[in-house]
Structure 1
């Protein structure tokens, strides 16, 4: 059954709310509550220290009052309990040894590189619409629909489309798709190897993710062939996992680095547009044409202790949530053929609601790992009051701004970013990297979170100890998170995708 074009378009539109004027007493009340909550947070964070200081003071005051006889008596008691002491010491040594042998090995991110296509592949709106009209596949209603989506999408005039889509007529062949994949993957890997001085022969693990293009030999085999990687490399090729596959690839590489000692893992995240352009008139299937653009990223990870000093980040957590058991969630991003047997990806009108549910499930698992104890207790007491006493109160949304300094939210579309800003109660500054990435590069699928991290670095905002939350959504339906900690004040690497344009950002995006 054909889905409602109006409903689909509404899901992509941005809800702009006019700022409400607040009177002075309301403002003062808000400020007071803010500082009360901040004081509570500091109290719970330093609760152990607050109780420890009086205890240490008491010990220091009482210690000089002990007589020599008291100290001699304590020594005799210690001698009589020597066996017990040795047993406890042995258990302590054994437990410590087991802990250090079984704890996960730290995984460090040495560097990453994002691909920036050549200027002749830019697709400003006028050129996009002219090419769409000249293709001859779209009726007037579809052309008007694409124009509206472009205007409201949050994309700018400098995003990129592959070579095949600039041709009239388009030539989406297997050869052209391979050329797009090679340009993106090899382009980002060349920068990565140059910036890190890493010898390709030293790579022990390779993970490539591309959702819609899976040729034979695989994309990972193309990389092995290009850079003559060693014969015993552990290579993986992930397909059909949508825009969240970049985090999945990082998770797989992390697990492999727990098994294979002292090696490097390279993760390549990309998507292929050439063979996945939709040439029909079903409006839910036209949206990807307007949003997805050329892009890719390559990341190098290490489990070598000696790399700690030169690493940019340390991987703290990866949390994956899969909602595929629910039929609506499973079909909300669905590749299929329309009535004229043209293949495309349908975006359901339920997409935003399903993404919200997946986000809720993901942060329920992530929260206890990253939130300060003050927020966890606040959430727990609110939940108890609501369940046991049937208190009429809204569910408490934890303040993730207390856990993270930077947010890299998948630039899937303007509506997705706005929805997360509202649900997580974030500030415009926290969404700046996502919005500017969407504007400059469009939806580059699984690699968008790396363009956002590169933006934060280029702005000089990444300081030692800062925590970064990367969060991505993908077909299936999945919501995946990765958490990184900066090992130093991070500067942008050479050949950053923002190198020649960072000074003009952020820019105001028109509603």
Structure 2
């Protein structure tokens, strides 16, 4: 017993010594944190703090003016009536011009994400069994797909189209049309029933799907199905990759600046049926393991009366295109392998290229969204680096000060890891992206909407919160959309997460 007591006493002393060593470090980190918060507060409210003493002086001076001084001021204004009228006219004219020419606000009324039926689920075991039974893959390709699946971040409940569940698969044009119809109409039916919008009220329609572009187009299929009016402005975007959803939002926004008092619908999807790769080239097998069925439909409006019922207001869209660089242009490339089988090849330089595109994008986005305190720190670091010409690390702005929620395209675990590291985000900030990848896989351009639905499902969106949607796509492109919540957003009964949100987040094997 005495020996045990001695041992415990020694252990306590050692722990105390270690605690004493760690305590100054902890206090230092806490102090630095509070200093930084104080700095941001001071810079952000600098104008207000400077105006307070000026306002005090004005109030004191006004209080000291007597009735005689006020009478003299009125006489002075009477003698300068022409100047007063001229200034008033200029002020009225300028205000009128500003009101007439300012950009119209774009409101997001609501959106819907497609939830495939359960019989289309593709757990690992079924996926590998079907891959083996097709007879198109050699053992090396099968083993490669198995390893990718295990490390991908995808769960056991993602979906593949009906044609891929057949043995052998039947990737026909008819089957591809069926997939497109199920996804687009499923999302649109959900959106129409939720918002109560009449198809005849839709003035603008934008559809994006990168790899499946039939004739008549996907947008024409929607016009035919819902009997949209004859003068609807319809657009069909193809070949623009996983970031096309933000491009479609940008196009709809521009159209809403031209056409008054109307609605725009943006449909984002991808088609897997005719784009499954049946060869053995490993760089072209990765999309088979990541891409899954999904799609979204978004209702936008420029009507001022819709502000009260809208969820979000579009604040910024920033688009970056690196296609002039040959490596960036070819890093996601649709081609045929040596056996003539078509697929999408992913370059080993993809993450480095994505990082460069992200840097360019946030260089443009930063000044639009970051508080002045962060911009000053970035600018000072840049000047110091130029003048001193030493190894000063570039300052990475804290985008957590600008945004409350992050919807990072669920392109794969590596993409999410890279952005979490580069933007210095916490696990909570990338939770929506990781859980979307786990539950639905990479649904291409619609993934950012599944992520927003996850955040809403958790009840985290409050009035005034800002949401950053960021997506990458072939070309190579990096596009951002910034939304501001106009109200506290409640979880939707029509959400794709409605029956499973309480199960998430789940523990992921990294």
TM-score range, shorter chain: over 0.9
Correspondence for 2:124: 125
Root mean square deviation of aligned Cα: 1.3
| Contact 1:195–1:493 under 8 Å retained in 2 | no
Counterpart CA distance in 2 for 1:480 and 1:345 is 21
1:488 aligned counterpart, secondary structure:
coil
2:467 aligned counterpart, secondary structure:
strand
Correspondence for 2:258: 259
Counterpart CA distance in 2 for 1:227 and 1:63 is 66
2:478 aligned counterpart, secondary structure:
strand
Correspondence for 1:183: 182
| CA-CA distance at 1:103 after TM superposition | 0.4
| Contact 2:492–2:498 under 8 Å retained in 1 | no
Counterpart CA distance in 1 for 2:411 and 2:105 is 30
Counterpart CA distance in 2 for 1:232 and 1:499 is 36
| CA-CA distance at 1:81 after TM superposition | 3.1
Counterpart CA distance in 1 for 2:206 and 2:412 is 26
Cα-to-partner distance string for 1:34-64 (whole Å, 9 max, x where unaligned) = 1111111111111111111111111222223
Counterpart CA distance in 2 for 1:164 and 1:24 is 61
1:430 aligned counterpart, secondary structure:
coil
Counterpart CA distance in 2 for 1:88 and 1:267 is 45
Bigger drift between 377-386 and 264-273 goes to 377-386
Counterpart CA distance in 2 for 1:244 and 1:288 is 16
Q: Considering Cα pairs closer than 8 Å and 6+ residues apart, tell me whether 1 or 2 has the greater RCO.
A: 1
Counterpart CA distance in 2 for 1:67 and 1:492 is 60
TM-score, normalization by structure 1 = 0.94
Counterpart CA distance in 2 for 1:420 and 1:23 is 30
Matched, 1:418 2:417: yes
Structure 2 residue runs of 5 or longer lacking an equivalent are 1-18
Structure 1 residue runs of 5 or longer lacking an equivalent are 1-20
| Contact 1:113–1:298 under 8 Å retained in 2 | yes
Correspondence for 1:446: 445
| Contact 1:407–1:468 under 8 Å retained in 2 | yes
| Contact 1:160–1:441 under 8 Å retained in 2 | yes
| CA-CA distance at 1:30 after TM superposition | 2.0
2:339 aligned counterpart, secondary structure:
coil
Counterpart CA distance in 1 for 2:261 and 2:467 is 25
Correspondence for 2:508: 509
1:208 aligned counterpart, secondary structure:
strand
Correspondence for 1:482: 481
| Contact 2:106–2:253 under 8 Å retained in 1 | yes
Number of corresponding residues: 491
2:285 aligned counterpart, secondary structure:
helix
The 5 Å alignment of 1:163-242 reads 163-242=162-241
| CA-CA distance at 1:28 after TM superposition | 2.3
Counterpart CA distance in 1 for 2:203 and 2:119 is 36
| CA-CA distance at 1:391 after TM superposition | 4.6
TM-score, normalization by structure 2 = 0.94
Counterpart CA distance in 1 for 2:454 and 2:336 is 37
Correspondence for 2:297: 298
Bigger drift between 499-508 and 45-54 goes to 45-54
Counterpart CA distance in 2 for 1:340 and 1:49 is 69
Larger CA Rg, structure 1 vs 2:
2
Correspondence for 1:429: 428
Cα-to-partner distance string for 1:58-104 (whole Å, 9 max, x where unaligned) = 12222232244433333343333332232222211111111100001
Counterpart CA distance in 2 for 1:89 and 1:426 is 50
